[in-house]
Amino acid sequence: MAGQYCHVRLDLAGRPEPIQRSYSVASAPQPDPFVIDLGIKETPGGLISPRLVREFGLGSRLEVRVPTGRFTWTGDDREPVLLAGTASGVVSLMSMIRFAATS
């Protein structure tokens, strides 16, 4: 659903358990609900974001949990909608705009 987020888990050398971080979904659930674009900003010194931004590319595989979250838009309401956000909230709003454009 437009506006959700996913947990990404990575195994890191020297860590007994995978490290998990949440990233907002930037894609719309249409046309292909099996493709998920995530908004990832590299955090200097971060454990996961530098690896995702610099080491992962097309065809890379990683563990992503099912999308979740309650800041969503289903497209059922056909009235005009005002979207306002900053920082990481913009990624969720982009997902909603893309969903509206394909609905």
Mean pLDDT over 87-98 rounds to 82
For the whole model, what pTM was predicted? 0.76
pLDDT tens column, 26-77: 888 778 888 888 888 899 999 899 999 998 888 888 889 888 887 777 777 7
pLDDT of residue 21: 93
Domain coverage including residue 78: 5-102
Provide the domain count of the chain.
1
| Amino acid, res. 67 | P
Tokens coding 52: 């995702």
Q: Of 22, 30, 67, which is closest to residue 49 (Cα–Cα)? A: 22
- Residue 45 to residues 35, 48, 51, 67: CA-CA distances in angstroms? 29, 9, 10, 26
Give residue 49's pLDDT: 93
Report helix, strand or coil for 74: coil
CB count, 10 Å around CB of 31?
A: 8
The DSSP element (H or E) to which 8 belongs, if any, is strand 5-10
pLDDT at position 42 is 92
Looking at residue 53, its pLDDT comes to 92
Which of 82, 65, 85, 93 minimizes the C-alpha distance to 2? Answer: 93
**Residue 58 pLDDT:** 82
